[in-house]
Structures are given as structure tokens and as C-alpha cells.
Amino acid sequence: MSDLLALEGIAAGYGSIQALSGVSLRVTTGTIVALLGSNGAGKTTTLNTISRVVPLTGGRILFDGEPIHELPSSRVVMRGISQVPEGREIFARMSVEENLVIGAHVRRDRAGIAADLERVCDYFPVLKSRFRQMAGTLSGGEQQMLLIARALMARPRILLLDEPSLGLSPIMVQQIFKIIRRLNEDGLTVLLVEQNARLALAVSQYAYVMENGEIRFEGRSADLVKDDGLRRTYLGV
Amino acid sequence: MKRATLAVVILLALFALPMVASGYILYLANLLMVFVVLSLGLNILIGETGQFGLAHAAFYGIGIYTAVLLNNATGAPVLVTLLAGASLAALIGLVLGAISLRMRDIYLALSTFAFGEAVRWVFASWTPVTGGPNGLRINPSNLFGFKLVTDRDAYLLVLVVTLAFLLLTIQITRSRLGSAFRAVRESEIAAAAMGVNVRGVKIAAFALSAFYAGAAGGLFTTFSSFIHPESLGFMTTIMVLTMIVVGGLGSVVGAVGGALILGLFSELLRQLLSFQEIIYGAILMLCMMYAPRGLMGLLERKQAGR
């Protein structure tokens, strides 16, 4: 299997603050890769550099073997990288349907968009029943589902998921992760940022652990789960 | 089906109006339709895109003066003068939009307000061209060689153009661009993440909104005989803003309803000129307190049975 996404020694910062230094990671096609670490470790910044919301100060990013770190963010979406941002960045005063349709904003194939609307609702049946409702009236879990569904509407090859479990009830978290696993089984590659390490290691095949803007550990998720020292020090499991 | 029937009845009534109505009623109808076009335009910028541009009266004035000067000098066909006014307004709106990209919220409101006042000052001071504080006489417009002298003459033209703008607005609202407008209003970050060109969308909203205001100005010149810079100040922008807030921001029906209701109101209150501002202020405040989503919000709530 080849690498769909590769970060090679990337660096980024906000003003004089160095947020990332020398971060390298690989995401193999068809896998779920977890990016773990505590608050402020640089996980979200890493995702934001991939989607080109935060500029790089060093290193390069390859998608499917081609450099993407100089493209504008809309081009990155077109190439097949969709980010599900942390928090609830939904379009609150727009209907659920319109939220989904705008997820396909970079696409022009009307028939394909209509078909994907059906397909996405297949993964998230609850959204279908709320189609005409304003997105702001959805529950927290439903909003998270809408965010993922909206990102899928761009027909991505890789999904960048930022803390999908944040602020959700345990039952809702279970549901969301079940869907993430199903999406992956259907062929979607996922880079998952998560604070809930136990959950992330259970669903992913490979994982990286970040601290202070650097990668500290990496390995197969099944091995990291068994590493007691790592678990206690970095993952708090 | 019922809705379509209602629309047809209203349309027939509007086209039949000149057969029964007096000159004053037709004047009022013309004026209200100008307000409708103004409201539809401001609603695109503020209601749909969430950009608080407060220079609407300036673009209205640019449309008026362009159409009048062109008409008085050349007697060009009214559709030409109208389009010229709207296009010039749109062009200046585009530039203002591009300059304003870095600003938002109160800063955007204040700087566009300042721009509007500067333009009004130009209207009032550029005496050789605009007539300055003395105002400018408007010669009758020329529609296919036919001179539009009275309100009755202009009515059908104003009606057709207003309906065209209404249809255009509905099309835009349902289009990809309309979705992009609303996405920018809701969250610029998320919109950008969806691949929406946020800067381009904002500039488009400014230009489009100014185009409406300029066209409204052109329409005004078809049934009016005089223009005075006093009527193109911030008060006019506030009046249009009140219309779309009362109607319900972001709603086409609301913008039309708000323009009709407040337009009628302002005509009734014309004798009480100095009280108008107080009354607008009171309406705006009451609306914010008890119906923040305007008349459309109240209607929806009633339909939902709450």
C-alpha cells in the first residue's frame, strides 16, 4: 500500500511562537491513522497546515506523491482532502440540506452531488429526518454528524477529523466512531486527531503521539496500547 | 398551487392598477417599488452575506445622478440610463467591497457609513455637475421615443423592472452563489474550508447590492422631476435597513414586505418629517426586542404553532 499523505519535517508557527517543528508522518491509503497528544501539543495545527489554513514555515506536504503545501485551501479541497474542524463550525442558520450541499461547493456534477446526498444520509439517517431543519437546532451529536457528512460531500479521498468526540455523550461517541469505522471499511482514509486515546487506538491501525509540537512516539496502534510507560506518561489511559 | 394562484392574482392586480388608480396612488406605488428594489439589494449584502455595509443611499444617489445627467444631456433611452447608473454604482461598490475586505462588524459599518457621507458631500458640493444644494431638475425619461411625464407613464416600466429584480433575487438566493453568501455570513472559516472563495463572495455581494441600489435610483428618475442631495444621506440608508430588519433579515419576502409597510408608513408620516427618525428608531428597537427575526420570523413561529 502506498502513502496517500506524507508530511516531511513540517514547521509552522503563530507569530514568534513555534507551534510545530520537524513533524513527519505518513498516512497509508485505506487506513485510519491517529494523532494523539494533550492540549496544545500541535495536533490541530498539524491538520490546519494540511488544509492550508495555517502556512508552513518549513518542510513539505505530499498528497498522492504531489506537493500541496503551496496550493490555496480551495485547491486542497478539490484534490480530495476534507477537514472536519474542531468545535461546531456548522452553518447554524442554514438548513441541514443546504449545509450538506455547500459541502460539495467545489464540485460541479449535479447528478453526482444528488447521489452523494443520498449516500451520506445512508451513513447518517438522522440527518435525513432533519433535512429542512435549521442546523443550529440540532443536538451536539447531530451537529458533529452533520460536520462529518458535510465534509464527505466534497467526495474526499482523505478525511481529517479533529476531536470528533469533543463534548459528546458516551453513547453518541460510540455511534460516531462506529460510523468512522464503517466509512474506513468502505475505502475512506482517515487522519484522526483525538484526545480520547483509548478510543482512537482502538479504531486506528497506526498512531503518532505529539508533545510540544514534535512527534514523540509512533507505532502500530495495537503495540502502543500495550506500552504501559507510554500509556501512563502521554496518553493518560 | 394556492401560492401560485395568489401570485397570479397579485400580478394581474398590479398590471391593472393604472386603469383604476389615481395619479397619487400610482406615485405611491412607484415609490414603494423603488423601496422594494433598494431593500432587496441591501438584503443581499446584510441579510444574506452578513456584511454591514451602510452606504446604500450613496449607491442609490450614484444611480440617480448618473441616470439624470445622462438623460438630461443626451436623452438616451431610459433602459440605457438605468443600466448606466446601476453599472457605475456596482463598479464603485466593487471597489468599496475590495477595500473593505480587511474590516468586519462595527469597523465595516463605520467605514462604509463614512464613505456614504463622503459621497453625499460630493453630491451637495459638486455644484457644476450635481447642482449642489440647489438640486437638479430631471427631464422626462425616454422610453422608445415616448416621454415619461407622469407617474402613470412610468408605472408599467417601474413595475416590470421591479418584478425582474424580484425574479433575479429569487434566482440568486437559490443559486450556488446564494449558498456561498449565507455560508460566509454563518462562518467564514467553515466557508473557506468548504472551498468557498470568501473574498470573492464578499466583493460580489457589495457589487450586486450596489447594482440594485443604482437601478433603484434610475427607476426613481423615471417618475420624479427633481433630486436633492438632502434625501441621499444616512437617514435613507437607515430607512432601508429598518425595512429589511422589520421584514426579517435574509428573507426575500421579508425584504419586500418590510419595504411596502415602512414605505407606506414614511409616506403617511411625511407631514411629521422631524418625528420620522424617532419613529424609525422606535420601530427598529421594538423589532430587535420582540421580533429579532422580523415579520418573517413571527410568521414562521405562527406556522410552527408556537
* H-run or E-run covering A209: strand A206-211
Residue with cell 500495550: A226
Residues B11-24 have a mean pLDDT of: 93
Residue A236 pLDDT: 66
Q: How far is A76 from chain B (nearest CA, A)?
A: 8
Q: Whose CA is closest to B68, among B208, B239, B240, B228?
A: B228
Question: Rounded to an integer, what distance in angstroms lies between the CA atom of residue A29 and that of residue A167?
Answer: 30
A206 within 8 A of A34, measured Cβ to Cβ? yes
Q: A93 at the B interface (CB within 8 A)?
A: yes
Bridge partners (DSSP) of residue A27 are A5
Which of A34-38, B44-48, B219-223, B268-272 bottoms out in mean pLDDT, i.e. has the lowest?
A: B268-272
Residues B203-214 have a mean pLDDT of: 98
Q: Kindly state whether residue B238 falls inside one of the protein's structural domains.
A: no
For the cut 90, the answer to whether the pLDDT of residue A213 exceeds it is: yes
Q: Are B182 and A93 a contacting pair at CB < 8 A?
A: yes
Residue with cell 509512533: A218
Q: Are A77 and B193 a contacting pair at CB < 8 A?
A: yes
Q: Are A93 and B250 a contacting pair at CB < 8 A?
A: yes
Q: Kindly state whether residue B275 falls inside one of the protein's structural domains.
A: no
- Nearest-Cα residue of chain B relative to residue A133: B304
Residue A174 pLDDT: 92
Task: For residue B132, give the DSSP letter.
Answer: G
Q: A89 at the B interface (CB within 8 A)?
A: yes
CA distance to A11, A158, B184, B233, per residue, from A178 (Å): 33, 17, 32, 59
Task: For residue A2, give the DSSP letter.
Answer: -
Q: How far is B49 from chain A (nearest CA, A)?
A: 12
For the cut 60, the answer to whether the pLDDT of residue A6 exceeds it is: yes
For the cut 70, the answer to whether the pLDDT of residue B52 exceeds it is: yes
Q: Angle B154-B155-B157 (CA atoms, 0-180°, nearest 5)?
A: 70
Q: B306 at the A interface (CB within 8 A)?
A: no
For the cut 70, the answer to whether the pLDDT of residue A200 exceeds it is: yes
Question: Rounded to an integer, what distance in angstroms lies between the CA atom of residue B213 and that of residue B67?
Answer: 13
Tens-digit pLDDT profile for residues B110-153: 999 999 999 999 999 999 999 988 999 999 998 988 888 899 99
Residue A49 pLDDT: 93
Q: Residue B194: which of A53, A92, A105 has the nearest Cβ? A: A105
Q: Which of A82, A93, A113, A146 to mutate to test the interface with B (most CBs of B within 10 A)?
A: A93
Q: Kindly state whether residue B103 falls inside one of the protein's structural domains.
A: yes
Q: Kindly state whether residue B136 falls inside one of the protein's structural domains.
A: yes
- Nearest-Cα residue of chain B relative to residue A108: B176
Q: How far is B184 from chain A (nearest CA, A)?
A: 9
- Tell me the torsion sign for CA atoms A45, A46, A52, A57: positive
Q: Are A105 and B193 a contacting pair at CB < 8 A?
A: no
Tens-digit pLDDT profile for residues A54-70: 889 999 999 999 999 99
Q: How many domains does chain B have?
A: 1
User: Can you give the residue range of the structural domain that contains B59?
Assistant: 22-233
For the cut 70, the answer to whether the pLDDT of residue A215 exceeds it is: yes
Q: What is the value of ipTM here, to two decimals?
A: 0.82
- Nearest-Cα residue of chain A relative to residue B179: A102
Mean pLDDT of chain B: 92
Q: Kindly state whether residue B283 falls inside one of the protein's structural domains.
A: no
* H-run or E-run covering A228: helix A228-230
Q: A98 at the B interface (CB within 8 A)?
A: yes
Question: Rounded to an integer, what distance in angstroms lies between the CA atom of residue A3 and that of residue A65?
Answer: 8
Q: Which residue has the higher pLDDT, B267 or A173?
A: A173
- Nearest-Cα residue of chain A relative to residue B47: A93
pLDDT band at A208 (very low <50, low <70, confident <90, very high): very high
Residue A46 pLDDT: 95
Exposed/middle/buried for residue A12 (C-beta within 10 Å: 0-12, 13-18, 19+)? buried
Query: DSSP secondary structure string, A173-192?
Result: HHHHHHHHHHHHHTT-EEEE
Q: Which of B174, B185, B186 to mutate to test the interface with A (most CBs of A within 10 A)?
A: B186
Q: How far is B251 from chain A (nearest CA, A)?
A: 12
Q: B186 at the A interface (CB within 8 A)?
A: yes
Which of A67-71, A84-88, B13-17 bottoms out in mean pLDDT, i.e. has the lowest?
A: A84-88
Q: Kindly state whether residue B251 falls inside one of the protein's structural domains.
A: no
pLDDT band at B305 (very low <50, low <70, confident <90, very high): low
Q: Residue A74: which of B182, B195, B250 has the nearest Cβ? A: B195
Task: For residue A129, give the DSSP letter.
Answer: T
For the cut 60, the answer to whether the pLDDT of residue B306 exceeds it is: no
Residue with cell 441600489: B213
CA A180 to chain centre: 10
Residue A235 pLDDT: 66
For the cut 60, the answer to whether the pLDDT of residue A237 exceeds it is: no
Q: Kindly state whether residue B291 falls inside one of the protein's structural domains.
A: no
Residues B26-50 have a mean pLDDT of: 97
Residue A92 pLDDT: 93
Backbone angles phi, psi at B224, to 5 degrees: -110, 155
Task: For residue B47, give the DSSP letter.
Answer: I
Tens-digit pLDDT profile for residues A118-128: 999 999 999 99
Q: Whose CA is closest to B133, among B115, B120, B145, B118?
A: B120
Q: Which residues of B are less than 8 Å from A71 in CB distance?
A: none
Residue B167 pLDDT: 97
Tens-digit pLDDT profile for residues B64-104: 999 999 999 998 999 999 999 999 999 999 999 999 998 88
Q: Kindly state whether residue B201 falls inside one of the protein's structural domains.
A: yes
